[in-house]
Structure 1
């Protein structure tokens, strides 16, 4: 039972995914106008956070018992895509922080009450899970002592809590990853986010210099989380919480790049009848065969990416509803599918960028921002096409995978 004081704050009308997409599209011009300032500040602005919060974006993956919407994977993908049209940073922060609501549902009831029991505008949870930690933890009576540095903690300046993956020597002698839930007020956020793309994500390094005590009820063992051994009872009647949280996080990571490609396409099409092509006799770009070719090639890549992501989201939802467990082949396939979709979206944006003229060099122009941000997505460790393709090929050929299902610290696409 949710405490009355918490439940009272959740008396808000639920919205459908379609309604949310419509509201995001309506706010698109204003939120896009925030993007340049957000890049310079290295974080999203209060207006963007407040607008997305009021629409309900940050509640999509939280349990209904805590005022969440518990949208299906497919529904969330459509909303993240819509947010990605605003700017890559806006979409990325929304995806990273919102999907963590699905993770929090695995924690103890006491931990969930702490997360949702506080007044907070915007996303509640950020975090970093990467190979081998990168934090360190040691067991003590009643919990763990935590220390370390966690780079790429996207959206950390907007959240109240962070899940900071750490390696720990367990009682059985194994060194395993744990998922400690830490109050953001207890970590130091370094001013080190100076990058070429995704500038507004505020993916700063967070650190804990002196050891911090984290009680047992705010810690999950990674292997337990993956195997469905939760510290609480899964929310009833909400299929979202029956899926594998790694698969869910992986497949939704492709939505923001898809949104960027759609945003770039909208920008290109809006100007077809408004500009000519210098160096030719075409006074209107829409009359030029090269524009027709660019448009067809870009749309084919975007449509292919959307169909691939939608099919995987629906399959994940189907498996969850049917109670089918995840496996190496499926996990490797969706990682490859996401990386393929991101590569296709990047190619689409490059085509559209080349066809949009020199005016796109201005830093306020959304096209150059899409181009820079999508490049960051393609080099993300978990979205790299060549790595994902090789691993999927190994699975299809019956060869050992780079990161086996029992070695999941190598599989999480977060940060």
Structure 2
């Protein structure tokens, strides 16, 4: 059964579609796009119920992200990234949960998680400095998760490294304006973040390794719900890849509408050309397969956790391999569609070119790099233990 939030998104889709061009021009989500996402409740899907969320099945969350991305890729991307942050916040100290959501359960949280600074231990917590890129949707967020390496007294990262996800309020960091000038996903406003010596209390941190494994962080946080016992590297990539698949679905929908009445340079109508129709259906089947495989992976992880069984590293690797493959498969299919859309598809008033650019921009995210993931998964399938460096992002 379709989740109520997905139904809400589909009902509000015309408003999102109408705001998509403004979102791209602004370089961040338009006020209308933000209003629609808030009204639909997408950002609260993975939020715990004790803080006004839905604690939904992650499959439903992915479908909601796809529904948003089908009409506006940038808004779908922000939902896919930002919508996972309430899931991790549920694993954090209850004090910071209350700080973030106590007055407003619709407070949005930004990131990025890649290590961009060093947290130096001090009395009661850490002193943090650094520079981070790609903070999607950050203009609309009041708190942020950041990846930080724990350092020594001189500010040098420890060896072996220890990574924290640190949580800061808007007053403690600077958003670098004019730091998001790109060719795709322009409306995500994924700007840079700078911090110079901010104090982070110990309770506003969480160990990245504990979150990666899922079960440990859930036990520490006192969360028994299945949702919060899932591994980070199954959950975080889900929203991002869901956005990419949804964008290609939007490209396909726009292509159908555009081609239905189009006559090619040869004088043949597309609807009467068997070669074009074959290519369209082949691409559509690949996009549908990408959607199905992505949802299947997170559903399998959920079922394991729900049965009280651990999601092993080998299983996590398979989920990641398939998730990466879903993104590339969908975008390759989108290329076949766009290549057969004619010269007018290049015009900026044609949404086809925006969906095409956004889909390719989505592949640039680190979680879509296939090499190390494919390499490691093949080793595990052969029964070979991968090295520590090969286990990163899985």
- TM-score, normalising length from structure 1? 0.87
1:214 maps to which of 200, 216, 224: 200
In structure 2, the residue matched to 1:225 is 211
The alpha-carbon distance between structure 1 residues 50 and 234, as it changes in their structure 2 partners (threshold 3 A), is farther
Partner-residue secondary structure (3-state), 1:157: helix
Q: Is the 8 A contact 1:138 1:144 kept in 2?
A: yes
User: Which whole-Å deviations, capped at 9, do the CAs of 1:123-143 have from their partners, x for residues lacking one?
Assistant: 51111112xx22111111111
Shift of 1:53: 0.6
Shift of 1:230: 5.2
Q: Is the 8 A contact 2:248 2:334 kept in 1?
A: yes
Shift of 1:90: 1.0
1:100 maps to which of 73, 79, 85: 85
User: Which whole-Å deviations, capped at 9, do the CAs of 1:216-274 have from their partners, x for residues lacking one?
Assistant: 111112223334145853345x3211212222222333211111111111111123332
Normalized per residue, which structure has more helix? 2
In structure 2, the residue matched to 1:234 is 222
Partner-residue secondary structure (3-state), 1:162: strand
Q: Is the 8 A contact 1:403 1:411 kept in 2?
A: no
In structure 2, the residue matched to 1:261 is 248
Q: Which runs of 5+ in 1 are unaligned?
A: 1-15
1:143 maps to which of 118, 125, 140: 125
User: Which whole-Å deviations, capped at 9, do the CAs of 1:292-335 have from their partners, x for residues lacking one?
Assistant: 11222111211211221121121011012012223322222122
Alpha-carbon distance between aligned partners in 1 of 2:35 and 2:220, rounded to the nearest angstrom: 31
Q: Is 1:88–2:73 an aligned residue pair?
A: yes
Shift of 1:47: 0.8
- TM-score, normalising length from structure 2? 0.92
Q: Is the 8 A contact 1:251 1:335 kept in 2?
A: no
Q: Is the 8 A contact 1:74 1:317 kept in 2?
A: no
RMSD: 2.2
The alpha-carbon distance between structure 1 residues 68 and 176, as it changes in their structure 2 partners (threshold 3 A), is same
Q: Is 1:368–2:368 an aligned residue pair?
A: no
Partner-residue secondary structure (3-state), 2:28: coil
Aligned pairs for 1:311-326 within 5 A = 311-326=296-311
Shift of 1:24: 1.7
Q: Is the 8 A contact 1:298 1:351 kept in 2?
A: yes
Alpha-carbon distance between aligned partners in 1 of 2:290 and 2:345, rounded to the nearest angstrom: 25
Q: Is the 8 A contact 2:118 2:151 kept in 1?
A: no
Q: Is the 8 A contact 1:253 1:338 kept in 2?
A: no
Q: Which has the higher contact order (CA 8 A, sep 6+)?
A: 1
Alpha-carbon distance between aligned partners in 1 of 2:146 and 2:5, rounded to the nearest angstrom: 30
Aligned pairs for 1:230-309 within 5 A = 233-236=221-224, 238-278=225-265, 280-282=266-268, 284-309=269-294
Partner-residue secondary structure (3-state), 2:181: coil
Partner-residue secondary structure (3-state), 2:296: helix
Q: Is the 8 A contact 1:260 1:374 kept in 2?
A: yes
Q: Is 1:200–2:187 an aligned residue pair?
A: yes
Partner-residue secondary structure (3-state), 1:254: helix
The alpha-carbon distance between structure 1 residues 229 and 78, as it changes in their structure 2 partners (threshold 3 A), is closer
Q: Is the 8 A contact 1:108 1:231 kept in 2?
A: no
